[in-house]
A and B are shown apart, each in its own frame.
Chain A
Amino acid sequence: MPVRRKESRNKLAESYTIGHENEEHGHPALQHHFENMEQQREASTLGMWVFLVTEIMFFGGMFLAYTLYRSKYPEAFASASNHLDLKLGAINTVVLILSSFTMAMAVYSTQIGKRRNQIISLVLTLLLGITFLGIKAVEYHQKYVDHLIPGRLIPLRPFDASGVHLLPGAAKQNVEMFYWIYFAMTGMHAVHMIIGIGLISVILFLSWRGRYGPEYHNPVEVSGLYWHFVDIVWIFLFPLLYLLGRHLEH
């Protein structure tokens, strides 16, 4: 049907320039290449999940490195882990799970159109994320003071495991490998937290401008997916890094 095709092309060109605003059922946020809001929402959720799959593989590689070296040097890993601050690690776990809950509440409040709760939840999520990073910074500083930054990353302050209490069977030279893995994994996790805080700041700003509501909230939702993913990584990191040798210390 050549005539109709031309017509629809004109219509497409029109919708491309002025968007869906003037169409009968279109929401202003509906992109021209989607049929409706439902399809757009499904597509963005799917896209975020595909990205999270790549993230799972990315962190998976580091968890594999951890598994290999821990099985190779179990006593050295336990000794090095016992030097970490369990209390701060536990507080951070609670902070992050709480932030996941407030993020879930932000998505929920957006879905039911409670804008005030939406903004409060996002602010709380943001503050909890910053708290996590603050506590992480305190922990990193303790490691700096104890000469436990691996290698020669800090000029004139090379790694020195003398301060770590060695369990029976632990070789001093293998303690450093735990700290390489600890800093790589918690460091990458912290980078993800910083990106997440950036994302939520943007979402918060746009929420404050009233951009999101029951009909249109996929940006809030997919940012939430990302935030929960970062929380899941920590759920595994906490017992694997902080709690692997406590039972051996008496």
Chain B
Amino acid sequence: MSEHIVPVRVYLAIFAALMLGTAITIWAGLQDFPGPLNVIIALTIAVIKATLVVLYFMHVRYSSRLIWVIFASALFWMGILFALTLSDYWTRSWFSL
């Protein structure tokens, strides 16, 4: 597998998208959205920005399947870390123990 050289215009487009994402994050942070919408918007934009960095700046889009698996394993284990811990803490108030 030979290496893929990402053209400059792709890097520029990703950079512009990241800047736009930052601007939207700040704007959305100052608006009063109903309920938990503020944090949902903030995290959605952050995840999109991180995905762009991983796929293009870190070349994962053009990398071998092995790199994909390694990266996915990190997300998987972080999912376990959050799911098990929060399922404990966030359900404690359900019972009067």
Contact = CB atoms under 8 A, between A and B. Distances in A.
Contact of B2 (A38, A52, A108, A112): A38
A106 B19 CA distance: 20
Nearest to A231: B53
Nearest to B71: A49
Contact of B89 (A68, A97, A101, A105): A68
Nearest to B50: A232
Interface in A121-171: none
Nearest to B45: A239
Interface residues of A, number: 49
A101 B11 contact: yes
B3 A46 contact: no
Contact of B58 (A67, A225, A248): A225
A106 to B, nearest CB: 11
Interface string B32-49: 110000110011011001
A195 to B, nearest CB: 17
Interface string B20-38: 0010011001111100001
Contacts of B50: 232, 235-236
> Which among B29, B39, B57, B63 has the greatest number of chain A C-beta atoms within 10 A?
B57
Contacts of B54: 228, 232
B97 interface: no
A94 B2 CA distance: 33
A239 B58 CA distance: 22
Given A53-B73, A64-B85, A239 B15 contact: no
Interface of A: 38, 41-42, 45-46, 49-50, 52-53, 56-57, 60-61, 64, 67-68, 71, 86, 90, 93-94, 97-98, 100-101, 103-105, 108, 111-112, 221, 224-225, 228-229, 231-232, 235-236, 238-240, 242-244, 246-248
17 contacts: A42-B64, A45-B63, A49-B67, A49-B70, A50-B70, A57-B77, A64-B86, A67-B86, A108-B6, A108-B11, A231-B57, A239-B42, A239-B43, A244-B38, A246-B30, A247-B29, A247-B33
Interface of B: 1-3, 5-6, 8, 11, 14-15, 18-19, 22, 25-26, 29-33, 38-39, 42-43, 45-46, 49-50, 53-54, 56-59, 63-64, 66-67, 70-71, 73-75, 77-78, 81-82, 85-86, 89-90
The 6 closest A-B CB pairs, nearest first, are: A243-B29, A239-B42, A53-B74, A247-B32, A56-B74, A101-B15
